[in-house]
Amino acid sequence: MAVTRNNLSMKMNGKVGAYSFYTSTGGRQVARIANNSSNYGETAKRTVAMQTRRSRWGNLVSFYSANKDLMARAYERKGANLSDYNRFMQLNIPLATVSLVKDDFMRGMAILQEYVIADGSLPTIDVAEVQEDGCVFNLLTKIDGEFADKTIGQISVDLLDNNPQLQQGDQLTFVSYTNAGTTPSTIRIYRHLCEMTIDTKSAVSFGTLKYANIIAGNGLKVVIAGQGDVFGQAIIHSRSVGGSLLVSRAKITLNSDTLVRQFSAPEAVKKAIDSYGVDADKLLEPGSSEQPRPTHMPEMATISAVINPPECGRLKITDNATGAIFYNQASLPIGSSIAVTSVASAGYRVTDMQPSYSDPENIDVVGDITFTLTGQAQ
């Protein structure tokens, strides 16, 4: 917080170091110890609930750090003022259960979880089956056997003929992860990517692509690369439209949750919390392992509208749980269900609303959503 001064009274408002300054209703200058929500400094609060959350953030941060190049444009539906990192955390904090000891996190340890690594409007490519050496995805193909001895053109024709959601020029990114390490504290995440642009005229051999070990048959299997008993996979479908990148929602599917269960167990959580430290006078605060947890305050999302021209209409947002109605902007908990509709102004009609949803009466709020309404005079 910045500190401001009233030039007439020289009173301060804001934060300086460990203190906050404000002016009371009676005009008196007041100073008090500032709230410190970090884990650092003498005034930092280290409750059990806070340290549990911090111990789970470590694995998320390690995973993001290893994948920030992939996620630079992977979150199509993030708000304009939201960073890729913040959107990743927004989507995955509710999924995070792994707790890492502070020193292990600082050394780069990471455990694979079923995180959301892309989120957008294109259809999801789901996993149909997890096999010993890779996941089978629900992309249909009439090719039987390995892709390596086919050209990208041949594969593209086959995929387009059998998967109407795909288009010429789209890209498929095959993502494989493995967890490997000789001891628990040396476990690392290893990633292998194979990217293919759908091009029916390409004479390039698919086998020349990096990590291009894909077998077609009853579905499309991505064979894992690298070593490790635990692996996870996903396919991201992307498309460039008018300078914007559309992506599919992609969530990692694991072959085993052995490591997740190991590092989410109560003893692992306690060990991680202890490594971050807990205030002695906060041990009986709600949220400790000996007491029921307090009600979780939900993460909030902003639903907003960009209207062109501004006078053509407005966006009506209905909270399906409460029936509350908002126009053009609403702040609602992630997980809410909303209905949206455009309301045209007199003398105008709304010609387009983006993003479009198959069921605009039941939209799941998974993060910030910005709708664009376009209209014209009648």
Question: Do the domain assignments include residue 273?
Answer: no
Question: Do the domain assignments include residue 171?
Answer: yes
Question: Do the domain assignments include residue 292?
Answer: no
Query: Count of alpha carbons within 13 Å of 332, Cβ hemisphere only?
Result: 26
Per the structure, the complete domain to which residue 313 belongs is given by: 300-377
- The per-residue pLDDT for range 307-329, each reduced to its tens digit, is 999 899 999 999 887 788 888 98
Question: Do the domain assignments include residue 213?
Answer: yes
Do 112 and 209 have their domain in common?
A: yes
Peptide bond into 333 cis (omega under 30): no
Give CA–CA dist 195/149, Å, rounded. 17
Count structural domains, the chain: 3
Give me the torsion for CA of 71, 76, 79, 83, rounded to 10°.
10
Question: Do the domain assignments include residue 57?
Answer: yes
DSSP 309: S
Question: Do the domain assignments include residue 147?
Answer: yes
Give CA–CA dist 130/133, Å, rounded. 8
The residues, any chain, with a CB within 8 Å of residue 97's CB and separated by 6 or more, are 56, 113, 260, 264
Do 75 and 194 have their domain in common?
A: yes
Three-class HEC string of 224-275: CCCCCCEEEEEEEEEEEECCEEEEECEECEECCCHHHHHCCCHHHHHHHHHH
Q: Which of 266, 291, 317 is the last residue of a domain?
A: 266
Do 249 and 336 have their domain in common?
A: no
Overall pTM surpassing 0.75 (yes/no): no
Do 28 and 164 have their domain in common?
A: no
- The per-residue pLDDT for range 281-312, each reduced to its tens digit, is 444 445 444 444 443 445 678 899 999 998 99
CA 41 from centre of chain: 30
Question: Do the domain assignments include residue 291?
Answer: no
Do 68 and 179 have their domain in common?
A: yes
Q: Closest Cα to residue 272, out of 43, 45, 98?
A: 98
pLDDT (tens, 9 = 90+) of the chain, 378 residues, equals: 344 444 444 455 555 554 555 555 555 655 544 444 444 444 445 566 667 777 788 899 889 988 989 988 899 988 777 888 889 999 999 999 999 988 888 888 899 999 999 999 999 999 999 998 889 999 999 988 888 889 999 999 999 999 999 999 999 999 999 998 877 778 888 888 889 999 999 999 998 887 767 888 777 888 876 667 899 999 999 999 998 999 999 999 999 999 999 999 999 999 988 887 765 444 444 544 444 444 344 567 889 999 999 899 999 999 887 788 888 988 887 778 899 999 999 999 999 999 988 888 889 888 889 999 999 998
Do 193 and 141 form a contact (C-beta atoms < 8 A)? no
Do 217 and 94 have their domain in common?
A: yes
Local structure of 60: helix, strand or coil: helix
Question: Do the domain assignments include residue 276?
Answer: no
